[in-house]
Chain A
Amino acid sequence: MKRAILAMVPAVGILLAACGSTSNTPASSPAAGFTIPTPPAANLIGAGSTFDYPFFNAAFYAYNQKFSDVTVNYQSIGSGGGIQQLTKKTVDFGASDVPLKTSEADAMGGADAVVQIPVTLGAVSLAYNLQGVGNGQLKLTPDLIAGIFLGSITTWNDPAITAVNSGLSLPSQPINVVHRSDASGTTYIFTDYLSNVSPEWKTKIGVGKSVSWKTGGGQKGNEAVAAYIKQTPGAIGYVELAYVVQTNMTQARLKNADGNFVLPSAAGATAAAAAKPNVTPTDFSIVNAPGKDSAPIAGYSWAMLYKDQTDKTKGQATVDLLYWLISPDGQQYAANLNYAKLPDNIAKADVATLKTVTSGGTALLTVS
């Protein structure tokens, strides 16, 4: 008996050593090849996208619970605000729904001076208010969406709509279109999609965070758009998936590139993202992606920081933070809030990009 126990001791010892050696922090388990580094003490400031706000808020709170001497103060002043502040170096990292344009990158010292990584994924829904038509019952094709938002389809019982929705009885009510009045990443993704599927949209209106709409009124922010739709019979608008799910709105089934009518979801966004394995700051659009479950209107949101960090401690802390954010540990907070998880291959690519961040010549990210 005694010999059996003695024999077990080294085995247990090896097990304990194995558990302890991968990271210094208790509750993190190495998942899918991510080993969470312990950051140095720092007070970080980040700014940018309002889309990311709920996710970042939850994640950074948890990060502070985990590493109590790192506080991350993220404020959602808008993607443009994030880019501005990063250019002026008043923040340690920025977050934007659309990566830097050439002119924006130039203001930061050129495209090589900034590191941009996608950190989360979202889908856009078409929400509507039609009596008797429940969630997922209305089916919309790309042509229909373009027609409605261009103002060429103006009533709900237009033949083009009823042709696709033969099972529904649609009223002769005018379609009350609502869009975002404030410039936003959601608008960018939506107009990117429409430019992709409608040549008329592409030439007349184009892609942008803020465009010149041909029809409909504008409301400021997802919340106001959602409120407008909910209280206006006959209204239709585009809203982030999180809002639709959280407030139980009715959204339409959208026809994706494969021809299937899908209800936009986090899984659908991940499927769309998986269809494009090589994502770069200059080639990042995943709208109308192939794949049977792909949500047709989806997009990434990006975090950005300078490649050469002047303050080594802050640089280290920032890189460690972003690493954690794209790891399953950080991504779990996105899933709880109706964001889509980054596909594994994208997360891995992000890590490789993060490794290029240096301070004083040496790379900051030392984990694999």
Chain B
Amino acid sequence: MSRLRIREAVDRLVAGLVVLALMLAATPVLILLLFVVIKGLPGMLAPGFFTDLPHPQGVPGGGVFNAILGTLIIIGFASLAAVPVGVLIGVFLSEYGHNRLGDTVRFVSDVLTGMPSIAFGIFAYTVLVATHVVGFSAIAGSAALAVLMLPVVLRSTETALLLVPNTFREAGLALGAPQWRVTLQIVVPAALGGIVTGALLSMARAVGETAPLLFTAFGNEFLQLNPFRPMGALSLTVFKNALVPYANLQDQAWAAALLLVLLVSITNILARFYVRRIQR
């Protein structure tokens, strides 16, 4: 066998392995999504699921209206804090961070991702709730989630920015633009795809997290729009009701999980669509 033949064989083998890897990755993903859809549809199609407040066991019907609003409010505030700050830190790391400070920030961020999500809840609880600064509230929940989201956003922003070829920066500077303008108006838009991926991943994670909300947002069976009061969320609904023995509450839990997946999908699609328009 000539060397060329061996190399070609290796090439085909690797191609095959890559496809195998894809199938291995796709299988559990699709099975899980299918599982969520199958278990979640009955509850979601039940009348009143989207519009009613929760009913306890024994009272038929019931829905997750307050939890939907709660999730939107809590994640909304958390993203408002985490995404801009995370992008800014990512910019710092890629443009100004090739020094000890940058290395430290990078390292600390990586260690932070390794924390169990309950730790963020305890952190926000200790700083905001136990001190009676805000008490149990959506804001405290958002704070916990924002810290959880930060490392993902900043890491992916940094990566995306580093991958923008230097030629972009050089061109901007050659045209006389100052550094900050080059960064904001040339480099960041060029890296927008990667930045958005990071933001979406972090939001997807946050939307499904329960433990950070247990001691912060606390949960609420009633409708609550004031972010300084305890608030419910879809992830809390899933967590509470998936683990009780009552069938209709379990149905609601699975339906809430399916709804979370749908929320993530919609956000994903909207964000990608918007990015494509910007990059036109």
Contacts and interface: CB of A to CB of B under 8 A. Distances in A.
A and B touch in the complex (CB under 8 A): yes
Interface residues of B, number: 24
A64 B135 CA distance: 23
A77 B236 CA distance: 11
Contacts of B240: 53, 76
Contact of B243 (A47, A64, A81, A223): A223
Contacts of B59: 58, 61
Given A223-B245, A246-B246, A75 B57 contact: no
Interface in A49-94: 53-54, 57-58, 60-61, 64, 71, 73-77, 81, 88, 90
B251 to A, nearest CB: 14
A221 interface: yes
A224 B245 contact: no
7 contacts: A45-B136, A54-B246, A58-B57, A58-B58, A81-B215, A223-B244, A247-B245
A88 B218 CA distance: 15
Interface residue tally of chain A, by bracket?
20 to 34
A45 B230 contact: yes
B56 to A, nearest CB: 4
Contacts of A336: 58
Contact of A226 (B136, B242, B245): B245
A73 B222 contact: yes
A116 interface: no
Interface of A: 45, 47, 53-54, 57-58, 60-61, 64, 71, 73-77, 81, 88, 90, 221-224, 226, 242-243, 246-247, 333, 336-337
Contacts of B130: 88, 90
Interface in B28-73: 55-59
Contacts of B221: 57, 60-61, 71, 73-74
B218 A71 contact: no
Nearest to B224: A73
Given A45-B218, A75-B218, A242-B245, 14 more contacts: A45-B136, A54-B244, A57-B57, A58-B56, A60-B221, A61-B59, A73-B230, A88-B130, A90-B132, A222-B245, A223-B242, A226-B245, A243-B245, A337-B57
